[in-house]
Structure 1
């Protein structure tokens, strides 16, 4: 399990400058060494300047490097007391030698890794803009194909429960027509793990041409679909398994939940009222507990 310092770095990572990210990457990879390094030595080892190290620590909420270093020492000492064992399974390598009983654990570990990487790549500023755009949109169109349709359906359901006007079409022609009729008051959300799904890229291109705010959820920051995005939410950026489908939903579903919760918090009274009304509207479709 990640320690508190590592999680804090991953939470703030998306808003850091490139040089600060370089320092943060070194800290994540060499946490044990950091507790013994002076400011000068850490800067040299990270390949950045001393002021960059100080800016990184302040971005994490510390007053300076000294306080940050003490926190690392304290965290490492506590972690060793709690559990000195290391998890032997990182990544996901499947072979004919794997035992069936090991698969659940390996999948769980890989899913956890992807979610941590997603948090690390998420910019809080971008997230705020996404919430603002969705909350104020006249119409929200969601575009996806194949495996991403499951994520799109989940997003559609959650947005509908909050009373937002949104649509999701499986048919490419319907997607293209709807994208072409969007306006600057509307939002288009494209979901594509690879960022190269032709249909999704093409309709996002059409939506941007129409003047809509375009939001993309993808795994690779430099993929083709991001060319047509005003706002990009990038997940782990790692390619873990042939076909890309097995773990793509894990991080994307987490993003959907983040958006859902973010919308509720952004206007709590409004959305809780609508959510309660929506829930009551379908309550008769569930069996009462015995």
Structure 2
């Protein structure tokens, strides 16, 4: 198997955006100022930034160190580099927009927002997290999968992929039916719950019940503090934000699908037997579609 290429350096602005939901109120004020005024950051010292926000200079320094930077100058330099890299591509993008008109301008903007959400989601789900989810799913006796409402679409799609890999999977959007199904589960089994906001009371009850039976709970939610995530043995997180609700929904779905695709690839390429099972099942599906 070919060695994977090293990941490109992550933009500090993407890192700040991805971690915003987990920040304190003061930290969010600093984060929002940097995200909204990145181009101006080079003109601000840590004391000037603190004065602009009405906070202490030490709060700014602690914020930068919490993000993994040596100090405020290191963060400022990193942001400047990220802006310079983005500016290098501005001419090509602008020419494309002018040539294609307003429709392509909107498409380009959406593509950027999707890319930012996918990058932020990758940042908050490090390789060891995906490996943990892969190992749990790959070694499970049975995998129970549930999602309600819009989450059901991704629940169904991922459950089908697991089945094609030869992993015994039980999927439903009906909470009562799933409660009956997991009564046969136990140690070594996995309950995978899709819940964007992680507050669904019935799904939380399912998670508690399953853990009482010594099964492992794997959740997929937004990167926010929520009761379902707090219950999980393993939590996959999605970071996607936009001021426009209809756009935020689209970028969330895009980032979620990208995360699931990465987990599926991990499951495929991590086991030759599963990969062979996938190829055999895809061939059978093709035969079913033939006249």
Q: Same fold (TM over 0.5)?
A: yes
Provide the residue aligned with 1:164 in structure 2.
Answer: 167
- Name the CA shift for 1:9/1:45 in 2 (closer, same or farther; >3 Å): farther
Provide the residue aligned with 2:61 in structure 1.
Answer: 48
- Name the CA shift for 1:30/1:132 in 2 (closer, same or farther; >3 Å): farther
Unmatched runs of 5 consecutive residues or more in structure 1 = 59-64, 88-98
TM-score normalised to the size of structure 1?
Answer: 0.68
Count of residues paired in the alignment:
263
Asked whether the equivalents of residues 217 and 234 of structure 1 are also in contact (C-alpha less than 8 Å), the reply is yes
Counterparts of 1:51 and 1:66, CA distance in 2: 9
Provide the residue aligned with 2:264 in structure 1.
Answer: 260
Deviations 1:117-146 (A, max 9, x none): 322322333222111111111000001111
Asked whether the equivalents of residues 179 and 207 of structure 1 are also in contact (C-alpha less than 8 Å), the reply is yes
1:201 corresponds to which of 188, 201, 204: 204
Provide the residue aligned with 1:80 in structure 2.
Answer: 87
Asked whether the equivalents of residues 147 and 194 of structure 2 are also in contact (C-alpha less than 8 Å), the reply is yes
Asked whether the equivalents of residues 138 and 165 of structure 1 are also in contact (C-alpha less than 8 Å), the reply is yes
Asked whether the equivalents of residues 13 and 79 of structure 2 are also in contact (C-alpha less than 8 Å), the reply is no
Asked whether the equivalents of residues 140 and 186 of structure 1 are also in contact (C-alpha less than 8 Å), the reply is yes
Provide the residue aligned with 2:132 in structure 1.
Answer: 129
With 196-205 and 177-186 compared, the bigger mean Cα shift is at: 196-205
- Name the CA shift for 1:5/1:139 in 2 (closer, same or farther; >3 Å): closer
Counterparts of 2:264 and 2:128, CA distance in 1: 17
Provide the residue aligned with 2:215 in structure 1.
Answer: 212
Counterparts of 2:162 and 2:83, CA distance in 1: 41
Asked whether the equivalents of residues 135 and 164 of structure 1 are also in contact (C-alpha less than 8 Å), the reply is yes
Counterparts of 2:64 and 2:202, CA distance in 1: 46
Counterparts of 1:51 and 1:244, CA distance in 2: 27
Counterparts of 2:230 and 2:245, CA distance in 1: 25
Asked whether the equivalents of residues 11 and 79 of structure 2 are also in contact (C-alpha less than 8 Å), the reply is no
TM-score normalised to the size of structure 2?
Answer: 0.68
